[in-house]
Amino acid sequence: MARVLVVEDDQFVRSALIRHLTEAAHTVRSVGTALEALREVAQVGFDVVILDLGLPDLDGGEALKMLRGITDVPVIIATARDDEAEIVRLLNDGADDYLTKPFSVEHLSARMAAVLRRSRTTGPGAEPPSPAIRVGGLCVDPLRRQAQLDGCALDLTRREFDLLAFLAGRPGVVVARRELLAEVWQQSYGDDQTIDVHLSWLRRKLGETAARPRYLHTLRGVGVKLEPPQ
């Protein structure tokens, strides 16, 4: 079972989450502010953080950025906000998933299981990553989680790197969006826009666009493939 940190200032919601997670045999700690969350994460090893955005001392979005500065622990945003632009921004800032309140305990459990499966395949004790992958001028090193394009380091978010590494490991192969959701996001279903957003940011860092692709090619209605420039 997982070690979970619940960051939630609403006492009713906080108690309900603690009760449900404890009944599911998880070890749960909870705090009501962003600063307490940062202190807990710095001192205690957690498997997943459930983060509310409406915290009294610091907006949860800013707290997420600060968390990403000190840890790669999976973070699930749980909030009443449902603005699409904000959801996209939070995913780009390093959130692993996003739940809009109200949500069922079954839904939360499924999302937690998904991010935990992903983190355990890349964390300590996982199977060693493959050697560096080269596709044209692109070099992806899963072991060091580094990527270079024509000898220059790429500044990628964790999700961007995972997406790039997965596609680079299958050069020239068209990967269906459903497979990307399952393998990169560890979800059996989801919004295609999440994939589109990450592909867009990844293209920008590779110096290309959807209209003028070099490495990343989208086949409408089929999937995505990565191959060296012609």
pLDDT band at 190 (very low <50, low <70, confident <90, very high): low
Q: What percent of the chain has pLDDT over 70?
A: 92
In whole angstroms, what is the distance from residue 20 CA to residue 12 CA? 12
Structure tokens, 168: 């680079």
Is pLDDT larger for residue 189 or for residue 194?
Answer: 194
Whether 60 shows a pLDDT value over 70: the answer reads: yes
Gap between the terminal Cα atoms of the chain: 48
For residues 63-81, give the mean pLDDT. 86
Tell me what pLDDT residue 200 has: 92
Asked whether the beta carbons of 184 and 160 are under 8 A apart, the reply is no
Whether 189 shows a pLDDT value over 70: the answer reads: no
28-39 pLDDT per residue, tens? 999 999 999 999
Q: Which residues contact 118 (CB under 8 A, 6 or more apart)?
A: 74, 96, 185, 186
In whole angstroms, what is the distance from residue 72 CA to residue 228 CA? 30
Angle between helices 84-92 and 192-205 (to 10 degrees): 50
Tell me what pLDDT residue 45 has: 81
Structure tokens, 10: 């609403």
Predicted structure pTM score = 0.57
109-158 pLDDT per residue, tens? 888 888 887 666 555 444 454 578 899 999 998 878 889 999 999 998 88
Instruction: Pick the range with the lowest mean pLDDT from 65-69, 138-142, 168-172, 211-215.
Output: 65-69
Tell me what pLDDT residue 153 has: 93
